[in-house]
Amino acid sequence: MFGLKPYWVKSPSWIKWIFPSYVWHIKTQHKELFLTFDDGPDPEVTPFVLDQLKTFNAKATFFCIGDCARKNPELLQRIKDEGHQIGNHTQFHPNGWNTSLEKYQQNITEAEPYLFNKDFKNSKLFRPPYGKCTRSQRKFLKAKGYKSIMWSTLSADFDTSLSKEEVLSNVLESTSKKGSIIIFHDSLKMKNNVLYCLPKVLEIYTKKGFTFKRIETSIL
């Protein structure tokens, strides 16, 4: 089903057909790409990510864990101040397939006060940890007004069997279309891969005439 790896680097068209309520790419006529970062903010990785984005005048979307935001409020504020988007990635990163509806609901709502406030309203963007979410959990998210954002290209920066060069190759070989959503992780476990890959991805696609935008509910 997955080939040699238990994941797809490039999301297949048939899975998009099975889960049409998920957002797999952004419809756009412009040469725009949408970088996303999961599992932060992290004091060792997120500042580097933000510095690189600023260097290339790029915007991105950060799907933050509520507990990480609680521990690093200054980093969350910097993400907001520099014009990036915030999305909900739950409070403690549970696997939806192994989590009761009640506990999953609690994870979503518990994260909100740490991610959003009167100066930064809930963006209503959500990414399920591990990309795993049950039907009842999806119904709850929809009732709360959330849009579940998946991805076009999975960098697989989490895969310890891959070299940093292979992670970069994942992105470069699978990202060519306008509106592609690319996923990295601004967390300590993926630090070496992100430090190597992100500057190169930004430079290569900028030279190709692409710009990097944040995800807005208004364009979904």
Catalytic, out of 38, 42, 157, 186: 38
Clarify whether 38 is annotated catalytic.
yes
Q: What angle do CA 209, 211, 213 make, to 5 degrees?
A: 165
101-115 vs 135-143: helix axis angle to the nearest 10? 40
> Is 65 within 8 Å of 92 (Cβ atoms)?
yes
* Contact call for residues 149 and 61 (beta carbons, < 8 A): yes
Q: In the annotation, is 89 catalytic?
A: no
Residue 34 is encoded by which pair of tokens?
Answer: 């949408």
Cα gap 185→63, rounded to integer Å: 9
Q: Which of 84, 89, 185, 186 is catalytic?
A: 185
Q: How far apart are CA 55 and CA 171, in angstroms?
A: 20
Question: Which residues does the annotation mark as catalytic?
Answer: 38, 185
